[in-house]
Amino acid sequence: MNISPRTPATPPSVVAQIGRLPELKMPEIKALWQKLFGADTPNYNRPFLERRIAYRLQEVEFRKVDAKLLERNQRRIAALLETGKVEKSDRDTRPAAGTVLTREYRDVEYCVVATADGQYEFNGRMYPSLSMIAREITGTRWSGPLFFGLKGPAKPEVSTRKGLRR
């Protein structure tokens, strides 16, 4: 059972599927539960069922293996074994697939979903970087990870002399 209309070439995104859950009738919710969990619904509490279905849809979609993530993790493990620490430059600010990033900007809340292929879904479109989304929202160039709070602003280095900053 599909919970949103689609064409054969473009399956509905997980975000779209989850967004349509409140529109489904209870028999459709039960049928979707049966499909996803292989059992009858445990109760008739609709908010509970919708939350569990939304979680399962994300689990199914984002369970796919990300080759780039595996490669980065192998490099990080090798560096950790060799030096005993992970280099700062090798730290990854890319969120895990399925992560929903939310940012309020000028009294408007914006939501972005990280996808399994390393892209980001925003307003029904795919973007290769958070910086492109931040630029679309603000109209100016921003560091996407900084704009969405994945990393903090650079801290100025403190000189060895008291109170002096470089």
User: Residues 123-134: pLDDT tens digits?
Assistant: 889 999 999 999
Judge whether residue 163 has pLDDT over 50.
yes
Domain ranges of the chain: 14-62, 64-92, 94-151
Give me the sheet containing 108-114, strands edge to edge.
Answer: 100-105, 108-114, 120-122, 125-127
Average pLDDT of the chain, as a whole number: 79
Provide the terminal-to-terminal Cα distance of the chain, rounded to the nearest Å: 61
Which of the pair, 124 or 60, is modelled with greater confidence?
124
CA proximity to 94, closest of 43, 145, 135:
145
What pLDDT does 4 receive?
45
